[in-house]
Chain A
């Protein structure tokens, strides 16, 4: 089975898995998980340098050389804050990529879609490659695509909840209408969730907590890599039609039994 690579805004990526770098118990564990997951890119957050402890600079020593970085605007509650964070990210990391995340509510971490759209419009005009985190609403997904978003990244369930794809139907609607890659972002809890996303036809999956908070993050990272690949192959291969009843897998002719020799 021949597959194409994930392409975002003209750049080809080696994998369809995007991994977050937060919540790992140690940076060494993160490094090993990244090696096992072989992700297309990793997300990072933009924060003030801790002036009392500048050792956080060593974060970079634990990232593989040349691995593409996707900065996010996590923690922003307004379009203006997201835009400001995107500019800081571009200056710090020398990348046009930005995962726009404008949160509307601290309990659900659901996106403020109006502000997300506003930030996306502004940043696209300034030459950013915008990957917006959004809810699973096909209408807002269309608006984001019209605004020039490089991908659409609908949530599967709340960020960090690990509940999997709670409502596949709207994600399917988004997949059917979108001309840009659709990457399922947030809510993946285990490998089968990633496979389900890929079987729906997603171009990729973005996750963090599912790997970082697994009992064995390195094992789960490998499971996620295999699951994304398996789900993608399964999607491309076209599943069988579901049937109402059983249908024997073995031929009925030539059977040695009292039933057929009678």
Chain B
């Protein structure tokens, strides 16, 4: 299946949960926020939120800025 992840198309082998996607990308869940189709998913729901074909996913973090 295909999703759009941070603005780029990405093919996934199966319907991953957000937690599985983060694990695959080696991104610790602690300091990121995830949005699926413009809806923020609370951190506690990452394991049970399963991505669907066509989803638009944003994973954001804090970086240096003024």
Contacts and interface: CB of A to CB of B under 8 A. Distances in A.
Contacts of A43: 65-66
A30 B59 contact: no
A243 interface: no
A20 B28 CA distance: 24
Interface centre among B5, B32, B33, B38, by most chain A C-beta atoms within 10 angstroms, is B33
A49 B27 contact: yes
Interface centre among B28, B32, B34, by most chain A C-beta atoms within 10 angstroms, is B32
A57 B60 CA distance: 11
A233 B8 CA distance: 53
A21 B65 CA distance: 5
- Interface residues of chain A: helix, strand, loop or mixed (majority): mixed
A59 B33 contact: no
Interface string A242-259: 000000000000000000
Contacts of A89: 33, 62
Contact of B65 (A49, A74, A93): A74
Interface of A: 20-24, 27, 30, 43-49, 51, 54, 56-57, 59-60, 69, 71-72, 74, 84, 87-89, 91-93, 159-160, 186, 206-209
Given A44-B62, A45-B62, 15 more contacts: A20-B66, A44-B65, A45-B65, A45-B66, A49-B27, A49-B32, A51-B5, A54-B25, A57-B28, A71-B62, A72-B66, A88-B58, A92-B31, A92-B62, A160-B66
Interface of B: 5-8, 25-28, 31-35, 38, 40, 42-43, 58-66
14 contacts: A21-B65, A23-B64, A44-B63, A49-B59, A49-B60, A51-B5, A51-B8, A51-B25, A54-B27, A56-B61, A60-B31, A69-B62, A87-B40, A93-B31
> Across chains A and B, which 8 residue pairs bring their CB atoms closest together, nearest first?
A45-B65, A20-B66, A208-B66, A91-B33, A92-B33, A21-B64, A44-B62, A22-B65
